[in-house]
Structure 1
Amino acid sequence: MASPRSILLLLAVVPLATAYFRLPSPWGWKCNRENGRCEKFDDDGVSGHITLNHCKLTCGQYGVIWPQPKLVTLGNEVNYFLPTNVSNKITCQGEVCSLLQEGIGLFKGNLNRYHPECTNGSASFKGPWEKDVKEHQILLDIRVTGGETSLGFDTDESYTLTVTTLEGTTTALITAVSFFGARHGLETLTQLVEYDELRDSLQIVNSASVNDAPAFKYRGILLDTSRNFFSIKSIERTLDAMAANKLNTFHWHITDSHSYPLYLDSLPKMAWWGAYTARQVYTPADVRAIVHYGRVRGIRVLPEFDAPAHVGNGWQWAEKAGLGKLAVCVNREPWQSYCVEPPCGQFNLANPKLYDVLDIMYQEWIDIFSPIDSFHYGGDEVNLNCWNTTDEVTQWMDAEGFGRDADAYYKQWSVFQEKSRQLVTKANGGKEVPGIIWTSHLTEAGHVDKYLDPAKYIIQIWTKGDDPLIGELLQKGYRVIFSNYDAWYLDCGFGAWVGEGNNWCSPYKGWQTVYDNSPTNISRTLTANNNYGNQILGGEAALWSEQADEESLDARLWPRGSALAERLWTNPTTNWEPAEFRLIHQRQRLVNRGIQADRIQPQWCHQNDGLCYL
């Protein structure tokens, strides 16, 4: 005899006038436990098939958790519930409690966004099964033992998550040393939940055990807001997506030679001269809000003031104010002779008043980005010809007897860097924090330790992943962050923006390339041993914005940023292939949260695991 479900399907032959219909799908899924794939079948109503989302949650070793956790056990069944039935109790101390309450609010908001008709973070869950699911309760029991409220390189981000169901209540117990670990636990818990279309409710895995911690301390995204301006809303959206992937560092390349969009109360003319328009500025209140927005999502906001190159527009005010030129070669032509891309500009190391202004600037930077655990000094792509063709600089070099060969200029550059470090330390109340520097002429093979103290500086590697310098940096004791452009520059693979053809770092870096770029494997290859793991802090994908603004932001970053996240959180020993099904689902999850992540495959592939292969 046909089931009531199949009879309902047979009768559904009259076209519906409504914009959508609520009927059981003719398809069902089963988990193939041998390969961890959800397989699609014609559902006869009696064969025990389940919905696609039920299958995704419970099939395979990791379900659809992203990034892949260290240890996890998942149950095969789900419980149905309404998000209004989520309650919580927390065990914590001081400010951690307020951060947790904000984090729980974000968790509940994300649950609502799983509903297809979610509007402004809320949705109405109604349907014929409402009475069957509305009584089921979800209890969050979160216990944090430590009092840390800002992220540092030594912060313990581990957590454990245990999900159990008993007598109509599913309890999620999260334990962590820090708020940041507990926040990651909440993120994982959201990934044990999905929408159930049949019941118009949510479903949660009925039992689970997760023991998790990141492989690397530093897991970052760089956004350049100087070449093109990005609104606060777009930055917040980026932080939301980072939180969904357990990335923990938003590297804000906020200024460059193109513009200085940061308004400073102490130096208002910087933005007056340096912003593209009066509306395209970040106020101190904006920055403080972004710092807090990130902290609640487990993210440090790392400020970068790139110098002594990559400065220009915004600094013109000084000469008009009687301070002389603080920057030289600003907008100088032909640009190819004085910088790597237009417009040019470098600090005037011959003008001692530069340090007076930097003293004021750093004081406000450190204040609005506080608390900081590191500071990025930039420090790349200095053009010696700019200095060596500027009369004021060359006369100073001659008068001081410094000479004018490359080493003489590098020496003065290193003096500038040391003075900058001292000013940042002073601005930070005398507390020194690690400085981060891009690979540059100062870090070249054979003499990096002549200019930069490995106890005070971290080197961010943007050269190719086979650069022998990487091995030398590790052997000389430097801590490093990987951003090698042959895998982790997300602006690559588009048309040239000066001239024609493709841009300089083409080809495009697909998510597979991003995923397979292993700092551990690179260091092992270049050092012939495995003794330097503690010096590899992690890595970062960079979105330089010559050819991107907030209209293209999401698609450039995601889901490739998700691939980066699993590499840095899990450091998997496999290549990208076993992760593909989960990444496709993670992309869908990001879209549900309002992130316009790029499509990877047709939706058919998401519904038919393993059939879109080469």
Structure 2
Amino acid sequence: MASKPFFLFSFFLLFLLLPISSLPSTLNLWPQPTSISWPTSAAIPLSPCFSIQPHFSSHIYLQRAIIRYTRLILSERHRPIIPPVVNLSSSSLSSLHLSISDLSAPLQPGVDESYSLYISTSGATLTAATPWGAMRGLETFSQLVWGHQPVVPIRLRIFDKPLFTHRGLLLDTSRNFYSVRSILRTIRAMNYNKMNVFHWHITDSQSFPIVLPSEPELAAKGSYGSGMSYSTRDVKRIIQYGLSHGVRVIPEIDMPGHTASWAEAYPEIVTCANRFWAPTGKTALAAEPGTGELNPLHVNTYQVVQNVLRDLSTLFLDQYLHAGADEVNTACWETDPAVARFISTGGTHDQLLEKFINLTHPYITDTLNRTAVYWEDVLLGPDVKVRPATLPTESTILQTWNNRAKNTKRIVQAGYQVIVSSSDFYYLDCGHGGWVGNDSRYDVQEAEPSDELFNDPGGNGGSWCAPYKSWQRVYDYDILHNLTEEEAKRVLGGEVALWSEQADETVLDAKLWPRTSAAAEVLWSGNRVSDGIKRYAEATDRLNEWRYRMVRRGIQAEPIQPLWCVLHPGMCNLEQ
């Protein structure tokens, strides 16, 4: 295959925006605003002395955003391959004036992120309810600027607000380690895409990479080693960076399952540690290596767990604290003699999980004054689950990952608020094939009707959640599908997830972007035009160009089409 001319990749694009209520214009924004009006094709040069006024010195995070965006607006020099044709004003735009109703509004669940933007020959005004809405508006303004001698459209009005208050990205830092620098770059890219929740899946069976003051041995013995753990200083740096970019940081410590990494420090409270097969040799003790689960019957379990949770609530500022509770394996528990006796005398696995939740959930909600978040398994698990009465709806949020809309509906019908992370649409690791070694199932030369998992063609290549979730698959997803209007009110939003069995920071950007951008737009302004038709073709053109702009901003997003398609809008569409 012939190589593409390298010089083409030095050009970066101003993408085409399709207003929700009109035909395509030549303005280009991602995610698409709720409402935009640009009745003329007029633009105005940006003054070399352009500034953002006023400077809110009393709000440190907004002040940082103003400095950051002023620098970006004046230095980016975005060069579109297909330049918009505009009537250029003879004057210049010297400032953007900010007006904020509630400067003291904290970054918390449900915070108002709406804003209005108006640009005329006499000036530009950005009005927002909160500093966090102002940050979203600053991002929009930055995307409106293009050219070596920058210009910006005038006689432009935008009103914008998100459909969902929770627009998140989960990153697993246990299976492979990510440097603080790579996490900060991810948060920066989230800000570009108006996403507001970084769900930090910190620990899992593979490693325990966070240093907690009350339990330092968990990281000392459970991390991958020197330089591969997060100090208190690292955590604070990530949280502060998130605040400066309007991104909440929600910590997750997965338990009681997925806790093999705890066994290096506390072997007495972890069952079946590092034993993948049950004594019979036929039953796996975990969904994947390594194995280990906290023992609900061991008294020391709860002291360690409380120390971990207390340290998390001290380090992390967010109202939400994610406590996992997914994929509990009953066979792993039963390798412990005390658990085996409990089961043999009439006890159940559900009772074991209820005991664990009953002794930890109130500690999260009552003692630490946090809202507890769990994976759906805690209520809907096929093998082990708790009764709804164990999880009060007012202090519990469930995150769904399985069975598409079915489990979402079950959760909201039970009265819980829900965060949607369907593995069928939002799992970014899916489709990359199996990762366990010495697997003879791949040695199939011809398709066998009985082998649905590993045959090729037609199989999934060893990935349980194949095929690969393309940006189109992500963009297609309606997280409110099959819900009534009342049920939909309990859906907080969604999160894409990157589980890291086959990812680390060397491939992080390309694994995340621009597929995560697709979710960002759907969660911000939806995926349909005003008549309800999905906007695939128009979104393809804009996402192509947005990808190039992200690359220019230092985010190594992967291409979604040949560059030829960008140069010939619409020519690569399968359907008219």
Instruction: Provide the TM-score with structure 2 as the length reference.
Output: 0.85
Structure 2: distance between partners of 1:64 and 1:423: 48
Q: 1:394 to 1:178 in 2, by over 3 A?
A: same
The answer to whether residue 191 in structure 2 is matched with residue 253 in structure 1 is no
Q: 1:511 deviation in Å? A: 0.8
Shift of 1:384: 0.5
* Deviation at residue 291 of structure 1 after TM alignment: 0.8
Distance 1:564 1:328 in 2: 38
Name 2:66's counterpart in structure 1: 104
Per the TM alignment, residue 420 of structure 1 is displaced from its structure 2 partner at its CA by 1.7
Say which SS state the counterpart of residue 393 (structure 2) adopts. Answer: coil
Q: Percent identity at matched positions?
A: 35
User: CA, structure 1 residues 427+315, in 2 after alignment: closer, same or farther (shift >3 Å)?
Assistant: farther
- 2:446 corresponds to: none
Once residues 457 and 555 of structure 1 are traced to their aligned partners in structure 2, the CA distance between those partners, rounded to angstroms, is: 34
Match for residue 360 of structure 2? Answer: 420
* Distance change (3 Å), C-alpha of 1:274 and 1:113: farther
Out of 455, 478, 503, the residue aligned to residue 548 of structure 1 is 503
Q: What SS does the aligned partner of 2:126 have?
A: strand
> Aligned pair in 2 of structure 1 residues 592, 448: CA closer, same or farther (>3 Å)?
farther
Structure 2 residue 375 is the aligned partner of structure 1 residue 438: yes
Q: How many residues align?
A: 522
Which residues in structure 2 correspond to 1:294-313 (within 5 Å)? Answer: 294-313=242-261
Q: For structure 1, which segment, 309-318 or 273-282, has the greater mean C-alpha deviation from structure 2 after superposition?
A: 309-318
Name stretches of at least 5 consecutive residues in structure 2 with no aligned partner.
Answer: 1-5, 80-87, 443-460
Partner of 1:378: 324
The answer to whether the 8 Å contact 1:379/1:440 transfers is: yes
The within-5 A match list for 1:87-486 is: 87-90=51-54, 95=58, 97-112=59-74, 114-115=76-77, 136-166=92-122, 171-194=123-146, 196=147, 200-319=148-267, 325-334=268-277, 337-370=284-317, 372-395=318-341, 403-404=346-347, 408-425=348-365, 428=368, 431=369, 433-440=370-377, 442-444=379-381, 449-467=388-406, 469-486=407-424
Q: Hey, what's the Cα distance between the residues in 1 that align with 2:13 and 2:198?
A: 34
CA deviation after TM superposition for structure 1 residue 572, in Å: 3.0
Q: 1:561 Cα shift? A: 0.5
CA distance in 1, matches of 2:15, 2:542: 14
CA distance in 2, matches of 1:301, 1:73: 34
Shift of 1:596: 0.4
> How far does residue 334 in structure 1 lie from its aligned partner after superposition?
2.2
Q: Deviations over 1:206-260 (max 9, x none)?
A: 2311111100111110000000001111111111111111111100000001000
Matched residues in 2 for 1:410 and 1:63: separation?
Answer: 55
Shift of 1:426: 5.7
Amino acid of the residue matched to residue 160 of structure 1? S
Q: Which runs of 5+ in 1 are unaligned?
A: 1-18, 26-50, 118-131, 320-324
Q: 1:89 to 1:116 in 2, by over 3 A?
A: closer
Partner of 2:429: 491
Rounded Cα–Cα distance in structure 2 between residues aligned with 1:447 and 1:271:
30
1:448 is displaced (CA, Å) by 5.0
**Per-residue deviation at 1:375?**
1.2
Instruction: Compute the displacement of 1:61 (Å).
Output: 4.5
User: Residue by residue, what CA displacement relative to the aligned partner does 1:527-575 show, whole Å, maximum 9, x if unpaired?
Assistant: xx33212101111101000011111111111101010011101123332
Q: Which has the larger radius of gyration?
A: 1
State whether residues 438 and 461 of structure 1, in contact with CA within 8 Å, keep that contact through their aligned partners in structure 2.
yes
Q: Does 1:513 align with 2:473?
A: yes
Report the counterpart of residue 32 of structure 1 in structure 2: none
Q: What is the CA-CA distance between 1:518 and the residue it aligns to?
A: 0.2
* Cα pair 1:52 1:607 within 8 Å, conserved: no
Q: Match for residue 41 of structure 2?
A: 76
In the TM superposition, what is the alpha-carbon distance from 1:348 to its structure 2 partner? 1.2
Q: Which has the higher contact order (CA 8 A, sep 6+)?
A: 2
Superposition TM-score, scaled by structure 1 size: 0.80
Cα distance between partner residues in 2 of 1:426 and 1:559: 40
Measure, in 2, the Cα distance between the counterparts of 1:134 and 1:348: 73
CA distance in 2, matches of 1:417, 1:112: 53
SS in 1 for 2:486: coil
* 1:337 shift after superposition: 1.9
Look up the match of 1:123: none
Look up the SS of the partner of 2:237 in the other structure: helix
Which letter does structure 1 place at the counterpart of 2:516? G
- Poorly superposed stretches of 4+, deviation over 4 Å: 51-59, 132-135, 444-448
Q: Taking structure 1 as reference, are residues 109 and 314 closer, same or farther at Cα in structure 2, changes over 3 Å only?
A: farther
> Are the aligned partners of 1:266 and 1:360 in contact in 2 as well (CA < 8 Å)?
yes
The correspondence for 2:524, drawn from 569, 574, 577, is: 569
**Distance change in 2, residues 1:87/1:134 (3 Å):** farther
Q: Deviations over 1:467-510 (max 9, x none)?
A: 3x332222221111111111110001112112343311110111
Counterpart of 1:156, as a letter, is D
Quote the residue 1:38 is aligned against. none
CA contact (8 A) 2:351 2:386 kept: no
* Aligned residue in 1 for 2:456: none
Greater shift, 106-115 or 339-348, is seen at: 106-115
Report deviation, 1:418: 2.8
Q: Provide the alpha-carbon RMSD of the alignment.
A: 2.8
Deviation, 1:161, is: 0.9
SS class of match (2:54): strand
